[in-house]
Structure 1
């Protein structure tokens, strides 16, 4: 059985920071048109050399979307580095689930297999950050003291 930590545990916040460092390192090159050209060329060359497929040729809209994604992820990473909170891990785990879903969709539709490397990291960090919330939620439901049932209104008679 895999042992996970509660989201309030300091080790959980270290995982939130680790995912932020990964995002900062990997996506900072996507944040500007000039650096994205370099990242695109490096990824395309690597994919070709490894037999995983090259990236499509650059066009202005692709560069725009790469820059938008890179900018947002860099800012999100800096927030998680400067002020990591348990809820940031939850939200990052949800975002990684979405990223992994869209990566899987792209892979199923012929995207370069180089994407598998990024997909693996997204799934791993997503699980590391979401499983503790899921386990913590289930533990809290099982260990809850007597109180109003979830979704049932409080008895307000005599108040």
Structure 2
């Protein structure tokens, strides 16, 4: 059992849903080989027009990884839209921290500067979703109280 202090629900659930809608809109095009080819071309054109660099030529492995990422993120986004929970904000914030780290790594190693657009959003949503948990964690350690989060069928998380 993991004891997690839950931030206040209404505001946090709106943030969870907002980040989910962003993910759905941005990553839906990555979920299939056909739509990814269109997104790839559009991003490369945009990067070229803005002087930010283009994406590498499409290849089957790049397409596979884009489709895997797109598929998982779309499913994760739909879950957060249909059934948002405070703990989804915590988990999404952690995932965004990881995404931001890998985007920063890619940028440091010569990836297209278009990644800055995505990195900024990842960091912003990560902060918005993690700060309430950090604040509640500090409050709970000071007063010894916190809400216990339960999952399906009352299983304590």
TM-score range, shorter chain: 0.7 to 0.9
Q: How far off its partner does 1:142 sit?
A: 0.9
Deviations 1:105-153 (A, max 9, x none): 00000000000000000000000000100000101111227xxxxxxxx
Q: Where does residue 126 of structure 2 map in the other structure?
A: 126
Other structure's SS at 2:54 match: coil
Q: Which runs of 5+ in 2 are unaligned?
A: 1-5, 146-157
Larger Cα Rg: Structure 1 or Structure 2? 1
Match for residue 42 of structure 2? Answer: 42
Distance between the aligned counterparts of 1:71 and 1:59, measured in 2?
18
Q: By how many angstroms is 1:8 displaced?
A: 2.8
Q: Distance in 1 between matches of 2:8 and 2:63?
A: 39
CA distance in 1, matches of 2:127, 2:85: 17
TM-score normalised by length of structure 1: 0.86
Secondary structure of the 2:72 match is helix
Which position in structure 2 is the counterpart of 1:29?
29
Aligned length: 140
Taking only aligned residues, the RMSD between alpha carbons, in angstroms, comes to 0.9
CA displacement at 1:74 relative to structure 2: 0.1
Gaps of 5+ in 1: 1-5, 146-159
Deviations 1:44-101 (A, max 9, x none): 0000000000000000000000000000000000000000001100000000000000
Runs in 1 of length 4+ with deviation above 4 angstroms? none
- The aligned runs of 1:47-126 (5 Å cut-off) are 47-126=47-126
Paired with 2:112 and 2:36, the residues of 1 have a C-alpha distance of 17
Contact 1:7 1:13 in 2 (8 A): no
